[in-house]
Structure 1
Amino acid sequence: MSGTGPLEPGEGTRARDDHPSQGVRAAGRTGGTAAAWYARHRRAASAVAAAAVLLTGGGYLYATRPRQPHPPPHPERRHAQAPYPAQVTDVTYLDARTPPADSPPRSFSFAVLLSVASGPPVTVTRMDQPYAGLALSTEPAAPFRTRAGSARTITVTLHVTDCGKAPRDAELPFLDVTLRNTRAIQTQSFIPGTRYARDLSHALEVACSNRSR
């Protein structure tokens, strides 16, 4: 190249020559370029992280998003979740009672307390005892219903129909109670306890000893 005038800037160099301050930055190009690159990528990473938080249910968007209510359980599932009636029902012995005035001879009565702890109401559809020589009736008569958290007194009247088939000493007498709720129908054997066994044995002895009189 020859000539005495100043060198003309090459193509594409006019913008850099018009801004002398660019030369200062050019002197520290390595440090300035790295800092700018780091700043740009840090902002991009922050934006991606914020978007991830919002998409995964965190942050302010999640706090203001309305929650959908849970659908009510299906009736069949609700019934399946109810306890079995035998699990929540109990029968306990109270005391001996005077049999109703219209009871046949050789009859005696007892009072028991039937309670339901929880769950849907329980209906007693039948109450019986295991001895062939005895007949049983209740007041109230079955079927009757008992709600959860409540109890009712039931008067059980036994009538000796055949002393030869009635036990002379009832050691572990029990009552068979058929229970029903929305979950199931079950027959449960309840043993009212030693006082019931003692009182029943005494009543049988009195009833059958009076047969020959």
Structure 2
Amino acid sequence: MSGTGPVEPADPTRATAADDPTGTNSPRAEPDHDIIGTDSPRLSDRWHALPPRVRHGALAAGAVAAATAAVLLIPQPPAAAPPDQPPPPRPSAVTDVRYLGIAGTPATEPTGDFLFEVTVRHGPPVTVDTISTTLTGLRTLTTPDTPFTVRSGTTQRLTVHISVSRCSGLPLDPELPILDVTLRNTDAIQQHSFIFGDPYSRDLSALLHSTCDDI
């Protein structure tokens, strides 16, 4: 009686070699080293292989890109500063003083009240610091009291109280009586002389005659 023992596993390598002595069916061994280079064309070879028209177009595009980058890197000049604002006008250039007449009846005493109005046409507000007469022997007070401020585009009514303190040497018929007015705004302080015509001259002469004729 014949029998078979346990089947021993066959050696795959030896079994394959036995079955295929030529080794044509044996599995291929994996390479034991890395590939560090290929035979692919170099970049310069690819460049020279391009048609001349393509190469010229690429060169032109590169030149344009380089020029654009150079322009972008040039520092830009700072923005121009806004033009300077003109200075505000001198107070005397925008202030008018106009004579209105006597307050009440003509003066018969050493003091008379003379009405004026002060107008500021434009610009910053103007402050009237002082008002005085140029004639020696006269004193002045005002209502409202100085200093007072007149805003742009407005008019302030003003009463100047003029009194005779001394008649000696005082001209009784001044032709061009003057008021000296000190004006101030954000630009300057000025003393300006305002000359008034015949109405103010006549009214002031009436005050001087009524006070000084008998002296």
Structure 2 residue corresponding to 1:40, chosen from 38, 55, 59 = 59
| SS of 2:162 mapped into structure 1 | strand
Residues in 2 aligned to 1:194 and 1:50: alpha-carbon distance in whole angstroms: 80
Q: 1:162-177 maps to which residues of 2 (within 5 A)? A: 162-177=166-181
- Structure 1 unaligned segments of length 5 or more: list them: 1-11, 26-31, 58-67, 72-76
Deviation at 1:173, TM superposition (A): 0.9
CA change 1:46–1:148 in 2 (3 A) is same
CA contact (8 A) 1:113 1:154 kept: yes
* Structure 2 equivalent of residue 108 of structure 1: 112
Q: Does 1:201 align with 2:205?
A: yes
Counterpart for residue 134 of structure 2? 130
| Preserved CA contact (<8 Å) 2:108 2:210 | no
RMSD: 3.8
Instruction: Name 1:186's counterpart in structure 2.
Output: 190
**Deviation, structure 1 residue 181:** 2.1
Partner of 2:29: none
Secondary structure, in 3 states, of the residue corresponding to 2:159? Answer: strand
Partner of 2:99: 93
Residue type of the partner of 1:88? V
Displacement of 1:194: 2.9
Conserved? CA contact 2:112–2:163, under 8 Å: yes
Shift of 1:202: 3.0
Q: TM-score, normalised by structure 1?
A: 0.62
**Cα pair distance change 1:45/1:145, threshold 3 Å:** same
Q: Following the alignment from structure 2 to structure 1, what is the Cα–Cα distance between the partners of residues 208 and 73?
A: 80
How far off its partner does 1:187 sit? Answer: 1.0
Distance 1:190 1:50 in 2: 69
The structure with the larger Rg is 2
Note closer, same or farther for the CA distance 1:51–1:94 as it changes in structure 2 (3 Å cut): farther
Structure having the larger proportion of residues in helix? 1
Aligned twin of 2:148: 144
Runs of 4+ in 1 over 3 A off after TM superposition: 49-57
The 2-side partners of 1:166 and 1:54 are apart by 82
Which deviations, in whole Å up to 9, do the C-alpha atoms of 1:18-37 show, x marking residues without a partner? x9xx8xx6xxxxxx45x742
- What amino acid sits opposite 1:187 in the alignment? Q
Q: Which amino acid aligns with 1:149?
A: G
Q: TM-score, normalised by structure 2?
A: 0.61
Q: Secondary structure at the match of 1:105?
A: coil
Q: How does 1:16-95 map to 2 (within 5 A)?
A: 32-33=52-53, 36-37=55-56, 40-41=59-60, 44-45=63-64, 48-49=67-68, 52=71, 81-95=87-101
1:98 is paired with a residue whose SS is coil
**Which residue does the alignment assign to 1:5?**
none
Identity of aligned residues (%): 38
Over 3 Å counting, the alpha-carbon distance change for 1:54 and 1:113 in structure 2 is: farther
5+ unaligned residues in a row in structure 2: which ranges? 1-41
